[in-house]
Structure 1
Amino acid sequence: MTRREIPLLLLITCCGFDLVRSTVCGECQVEPLPLFQNKRVSVGVKWTKTMTNRAECAALCSHFHSIRSFGYKDSSGECVAYTDPLTTPEDTTYVGESGFNMYSTCASGQQLVNDSAHGHPVLLPTVNHFGSCVTSTDCTVAKTTCNEGLCVCDIMHVYSHGSCVQGCPAYGTGFTIFKNKNLDGYNNRIINNVTTIEACLSLCLAETDFLCVTAEFASGIQRCILSSTAWYEVPRPFTLDSTIFDEAIRNCS
């Protein structure tokens, strides 16, 4: 089996949803919220998209740290992501709408691990952050920044057992993703026709010719770039803002 033939999709169950092909949802608790059935919450909306089914909506929402709940309407496929966790209807603003139901999600950070039963990496929840935030001033731990609603190690450092460090004695299977960043000119491998960032991270973990420690993904051009170089090892002129790529920083084990 070649590198590009590694299976990247896994049949998984999202807590009561039908089986769906996704590497995003993983084994996380996605649950209906009984108090919010036939109710549309009208505050804290992050985005609205049209999806094929509820499981795809859940999978997409679980990819973003800042999304705490989502709504889905079966008849239209409308998927609405919310940045606020929900407690009771009395504590939020909503309107009654038949068929629009609210669900919790598990956007607490994720890691890729090897699934021995299926022989390839899958996403599982992990904790590689230091609490929630609105801005970086909310992050009090040294060398952390606010990223997608969570305090994480800044891009110049790597998460290791509750600290932010430079240099890992060994790398683990978790990643911290920074949007709109590009490590310029340190490309060990360029792979085209990669459709998801999860697939790109799987390729990083599966790489055997070199130790992959950073991965860049551009969804618009379906390109995955793997590198053996850490972000903090590169001169500043080669660490760029980007409108195309997102940068994944591999955590220590």
Structure 2
Amino acid sequence: MAAFIWHKFVAVIYSLLLHGRPCCCSVMCGNAQLVHLPDFDHLFVNEHLLWNDQMESVAACVSRCFLDTRCRSMQVDRNSSRCSGHATAFASPSKIYPPAIVSQHSRLYLLPRAAHFIGSACTSDGDCHVATSVCNDGVCTCQIGLWFSPSQQACVTECSTLGSGLVRYPGYAIWGHDVSVHTSLGETSCPQLCRDTCQSIEFDGERNRCIINTVTYLRVNSTDQGQHPQWAYYQRNCAA
């Protein structure tokens, strides 16, 4: 696959992608800054993916994300010409479940509208500006039991199509709704077992158990909504 075509009128974007520095793409982006997240270099994130296509230039990739109001971040691969747009911000690879995959030459950038949005880094609930979102383990997420909808750009109570990733809520669990239990597993392996009809999982850190559920935290009685410092509850992403 041919490398990206570098146009003179996007020289500032060229500088951004090669050197990993925030810069102003005034021709296409209205003097807004793209923010490079170097911790995601050489990784590909599959969460909240809007598209993942081949594009003829970096300029086309940047323009597509800015013109799509759902797009909050973008990844570009300077070697394969791949361009992906994402409906959320991102904070750290350590907050991606399951982990991002290795992808040489890939870079991830946040648009200005990613600030204070779902997925962005936070220190308090006040940093998260989406309605019914909270600062959860250093990341803005929907409140436990709600889903983030890429199409609605909001936290919602219903999800018709499940996505591939999960959101982690440390210290929470669901009691008494186990579909299957897997033992002798580390926590990093647990999210990879949530597929098909799985809506949530729990990891029991005391006994290294991974528990698969087809319900979510808000779909069970309050007596079954548990809290325990050694547990972690994961809820599946919503794809639509």
- TM-score between both structures, scaled by the size of structure 1: 0.49
- How far 1:131 moved relative to its partner? 2.7
1:29 counterpart = 2:41: yes
Residues 210-252 of structure 1: per-residue CA shift (max 9 Å, x gap): x100000123311000000111111112111112210001111
**Which secondary structure does the structure 1 equivalent of 2:192 belong to?**
helix
In the alignment, structure 1 segments of 5+ residues that lack a partner are 1-26, 31-104, 113-121
- How far 1:153 moved relative to its partner? 0.6
Q: Work out the CA distance in 1 between the residues paired with 2:172 and 2:235.
A: 11
1:123 counterpart = 2:100: yes
- Name the counterpart of 1:248: 234
Structure 2 residue aligned with 1:140, among 117, 122, 129?
Answer: 129
- Name the counterpart of 1:180: 171
- Name the counterpart of 1:221: 207
- TM-score between both structures, scaled by the size of structure 2: 0.52
Amino acid at match of 1:107: P
Q: Work out the CA distance in 1 between the residues paired with 2:94 and 2:154.
A: 17
Residues 176, 250 of structure 1: 8 Å contact kept: yes
Residues 45-73 of structure 1: per-residue CA shift (max 9 Å, x gap): xxxxxxxxxxxxxxxxxxxxxxxxxxxxx
Amino acid at match of 1:123: A
Residues 24-83 of structure 1: per-residue CA shift (max 9 Å, x gap): xxx9327xxxxxxxxxxxxxxxxxxxxxxxxxxxxxxxxxxxxxxxxxxxxxxxxxxxxx
Q: Work out the CA distance in 1 between the residues paired with 2:134 and 2:94.
A: 16
Instruction: Decide whether aligned partners of structure 1 residues 171 and 160 sit closer, same or farther in structure 2, where only a CA change above 3 A counts.
Output: same
Q: Work out the CA distance in 2 between the residues paired with 1:204 and 1:136.
A: 28
- How far 1:154 moved relative to its partner? 0.7
Q: Work out the CA distance in 2 between the residues paired with 1:129 and 1:108.
A: 16
Residues 172, 231 of structure 2: 8 Å contact kept: yes
Structure (1 or 2) with the greater helix fraction: 2
1:163 counterpart = 2:154: yes
1:193 counterpart = 2:170: no
Residues 93, 100 of structure 2: 8 Å contact kept: no
Moved over 6 A (4+): 125-128
- Name the counterpart of 1:3: none
Aligned-CA RMSD value? 2.9
- How far 1:108 moved relative to its partner? 7.4
Count of residues in correspondence between the two structures = 140
Residues 144, 153 of structure 1: 8 Å contact kept: yes
Residues 64-106 of structure 1: per-residue CA shift (max 9 Å, x gap): xxxxxxxxxxxxxxxxxxxxxxxxxxxxxxxxxxxxxxxxx94
- Name the counterpart of 1:203: 193
